[in-house]
Structures are given as C-alpha cells and as structure tokens.
Amino acid sequence: MNFGSDNQSGVSPAVLQGIVEASTGVAGSYANDHWTQAANAKLSDIFEKPVQVFFVATGTASNCLALSALVQPWHSILCHSQAHIAVDELSAPELFTGGARLVLMGDDGGKLTAQLLSDTLQKLPADRPHNQIPGALSITQCTESGQVYSVEEIRALTEVAHAAGLRVHMDGARFSNALATLECSPADITWKAGVDVLCLGASKNGALALEAVIFFDDTLAKDFDLRRKRSGHLVSKGRLFGAQMCAWLENNHWIKLAHKANEVALALEHCLKQHPAIQLAWPVQANELFAVMPTALFERLKTEGVRLNE
C-alpha cells in the first residue's frame, strides 16, 4: 500500500492514450499544433470566457512564471506560511520574479482569511522606497493541508487584495479535487470570485507532466510567451501537453478522477477514525489526509510495507 504524495502515482489510461495518439506523425512545434489549440479552446469553454493558456511541465514553473507576470522585483507576495511557493519551490519565486519577497501569513495548516490578510497588510511597513510594496496574494486551492476554500471565502480574500492594489494568484495543483468537493463551476471559484490567474495542475491527478497557467485578464498575459521561453519552459513538441490536456478534460475525466481520489481519502478517514491511536490533523475535504499516530505504529506500518510521507 502506498500513501505517499499524489505525484508518485502513474498516469490515467485515458491521458496515456492521448499521449500515444499524439506521438506519431508530424505536427507544428512550440505549441503550434492542433492538440494545444483544441486544449486552449476547451479551457475557454470550461471557464466560460476566452482565457489565455500556457502549458509547462512543473508546478514550480507554473506558479513562479504566473507570479512573475503579476509583480515587480520591489513587490511582496503574500501567501500562507505553508504554501508550496513558500516551502517547496526553493528560491524559484525569487528567480522568476527578479527578487520579489514572500510575506508569510498563518502559522498552522488552516486557510487564509480576509481578516488575516487585512491585518497583515495593515501591519506591513510602508515607507517608500525602503519597504516592499504588496503586489500579489497567492491562494492555494486546496490548501497544502487539504482544506477547500468556499466561493465566499475566495471572494472575501480577493476583495481585500484588490482593494489594496494586489493581484490574485491561485495555486491550483489540486484544483480539480477542490472542484469535486465544491458545488460550483470552474468560473465561479476563479475569475468570478476575483482570481486573476490560475495555475491548474494535472500532474497530481492523472497526467504525466502537465500544468496550465490560465490568465483571466488578457493584459497580464501580454509577454508571457517570452517569460516562458526565457526560462526554458517552451517545449518543442508542445503536443505532449496539448494531448494530455485534451484527454484529461474529455468527458469530464478530470473531475471524475478527482471525485475518485476524494472518495478514497474520505473512506480512509472513516477507517482511521475507528482507530483509537490515530488522530486526524484536519478533516478531509479533498484528497489529502494528515494522520497523527504514535511513532511505534508509524514504524510498524513502514515495516509492513506501507509507504507514508513523514
């Protein structure tokens, strides 16, 4: 049994089939292929407005390239202290933005709140030109602890952010799992709630290597092709991404995969709740589960071959 990170699992047969089909024959390079174009059209359809889409291979590239379109080097980016950009992406945010600084909020594994954001903004020193100017808010949906923001919570956050002149980025590495939990459309929980750019991750939910930077505001996407190329993220055989995305979206496959992952997590939560020695750090809201257990039990599980992340 393996309860490691969701990036250790394989590729969904449907997505793999998409890759296989796209791998033969000649096609335009550098995203000038019909799979990429079809994927873009499909995403505009799903998000209920024309969106600007750029595919890359990793979540770090996706997040940090997106942020680089929102801020200048003298800006700060406000995010949760456990956010992936804060904890798991080395100093990629600094490299891509040319030196913008992260401001961390929230100590535990919970969600950001409009109140916390508002308080943080108020406390930040604001003596120009000596201090960073807040430039962007980054929200993770679902959070690193598996919590899901409601539409109202997102809207409250983006309202505070926009009022203070910040752009809003959503790290959606597990966006599909959040969608499966929420009763809302992709548009409702993104641009209609004030999100300026979404990093939609597929790699952790059935794809091989596929992340999409999706701009809801065309002006922000203006030079993004140059940003992507300059950082070495423009893949020559772009159909690799286009084909995965087409297959992933086809027949609501992405949402079905997310539902399944969420259900497994819920079922596991149900089981673990029976076990007196195990406590759950947070209620399961999507596909992540954080169990607190005695060291002895943890070691026994590992001995028996169960794979866990510490």
Q: Rule CB under 8 A: which of 124-183 touch a second copy?
A: 125, 128-133
Residues 141, 142, 145, CA angle at the centre, nearest 5°?
A: 135
Binder of a second copy out of 45, 218, 223, 299 (CB under 8 A) = 223
Residue 73 interacting with a second copy (CB under 8 A): yes
CB of 156 vs a second copy, minimal distance in Å:
28
Residue 92 interacting with a second copy (CB under 8 A): yes
Interface of this chain with a second copy, residues 256 to 275, rule: CB under 8 A: none
Binder of a second copy out of 60, 120, 205, 287 (CB under 8 A) = 60
- Measuring CA to CA, how many Å separate 18 from each of 25, 37, 141, 188, 209? 14, 15, 27, 29, 13
Residue 225 interacting with a second copy (CB under 8 A): yes
Minimum CB distance to a second copy smaller for 25 or for 276: 25
Site string for a second copy, 22-51 (x = CB under 8 A): -xxxxxxx----------------------
CB of 137 vs a second copy, minimal distance in Å:
18
CB of 111 vs a second copy, minimal distance in Å:
21
Bridge partners (DSSP) of residue 105 are: 80
Residue 8 interacting with a second copy (CB under 8 A): yes
Interface of this chain with a second copy, residues 184 to 203, rule: CB under 8 A: 203
Minimum CB distance to a second copy smaller for 66 or for 182: 66
CA distance 137 to 86: 13
Minimum CB distance to a second copy smaller for 102 or for 112: 102
CB of 148 vs a second copy, minimal distance in Å:
22
